[in-house]
Amino acid sequence: MGFSTKQLLGVGLFLLAIFVGVPLFIAATGRWDFYFTLTSVALLAIASAGVWLTFYIGRINIGQGAFALIGAYVSAILVVKAGWSFWISLPMAGLFAALVAVLIGLPILRLRGVYFAMITLVLTQVVTLTALALPITNGAKGITNIPLPAGVSLFGIPLIPDFSTLENTRMAFYFTACILMVLTYVTLYRLVNSRLGHLCRSMQQNEELASSIGVNISYIRILIFAISSFFGGIGGAMFGSISQSVYPSTFQVMDSVNFMLNCFLGGLGYVFGPMLGTLVLYFGWDLLFELGKYQMLVYSLILIGVIRFLPNGLLSLRFGKGDKK
């Protein structure tokens, strides 16, 4: 299924805003710190997209922080200790996170949804403790002094500049993160509107009925969980490169919960819901910081209100029931 003219116009305006509008705004205001903030939002949106995908098969994933941490460590180890290029370590981090997801998913994805959610809740803490214990991760000291991404050339033609030679690395990371985010959501949209996406939707509605017509439920569950974790690994690897360090506490249980909340806030029925939810939750939390000790109380009341009065998320204010993709 392709984009309608209205959707193409919306996508075009969005791309124009993030790749042209934001840099022009930052250059005019001199707020260069916005690059780091918006880069973080883009990477969190990538990880949240994976959580949304597991929701799409009727499973609640509260362990995405674990796969982001795995991706961050894998990339850091390959770059610092094995001397690999960051651009090669990036997909490898995602693939390793996906492999771990398959190994974990084989036994637990056979469980009912509530038990799967309970197990994923402890995954982030398990990975954190593993990172503290393994010599290759340097324990609590973490991995520091991760070099900036090196340049990439093809037949002598530079494709990606060496980040260490750039005057403004924040802008370079911003564009990289935005490109990854766009590719993630294009992939997500294409998957949802493919045959696999239709099978996932049938599982979400009634797994027994889907199984009765020949759908291999176990295979699809594991495949979707692996893709979901791949997104988490990619996002985590980018975070490690930006901060040039990774520690066992880089991603915590609360991060996994926030990835899930991003999906709820934006809208579980909409592919681009996690992106909007991430943006609103990230900036909303900072705005509520002015409330001091009442920050968490007001934050909780707002979330309860959204879930109560907008059960389909913020995007339900804009789209009708039949225009959810």
Whether the CB-CB separation of 177 and 42 falls below 8 Å is answered with yes
Claim to verify: residue 59 and residue 42 sit in the same structural domain: yes
> Are residues 113 and 16 part of one domain?
no
How many other C-beta atoms are found inside a 10 Å radius of the C-beta of residue 68?
35
In a domain, 305, yes or no: no
Do residues 21 and 84 share a domain? no
Residue 210: predicted pLDDT: 75
DSSP 261-282: HHHHHH-TT-TTHHHHHHHHHH
Give the least confident one: 71-85, 106-120, 183-197: 106-120
Read off the tokens for 183: 């590719």
Q: Is residue 183 part of a domain?
A: yes
Residue-averaged pLDDT of the chain: 89
Who wins on pLDDT, 80 or 116? 80
In a domain, 143, yes or no: yes
- Indicate if 171 and 116 belong to the same structural domain: yes
Same domain, 41 and 115: yes
- Whether residue 258 lies inside any domain: the answer is no
pLDDT(20) > 90: yes
Give the DSSP H or E segment for 154.
strand 152-154
Q: How many domains does the chain have?
A: 2
Confidence of residue 117 (pLDDT cuts 50, 70, 90): confident
Same domain, yes or no: 3 and 66: no
pTM: 0.92
Task: Please say which residue of 253, 276, 300 terminates a domain.
Answer: 253
Single residue among 253, 272, 290 that ends a domain in this structure: 253
pLDDT tens, residue by residue, 33-54: 899 999 999 999 999 999 999 9
Same domain, 238 and 123: yes
Q: Both 91 and 140 in a single domain?
A: yes
Q: How far apart are CA 31 and CA 236, in angstroms?
A: 25
The residue segments making up the domain with residue 127 are 32-253
Percent share of the chain, pLDDT over 90: 60
38 and 22 co-located in one domain: no
172 and 110 assigned to the same domain: yes
Segment 242-253, tens digit of pLDDT: 999 999 999 999
Residue 49 counted as domain residue: yes
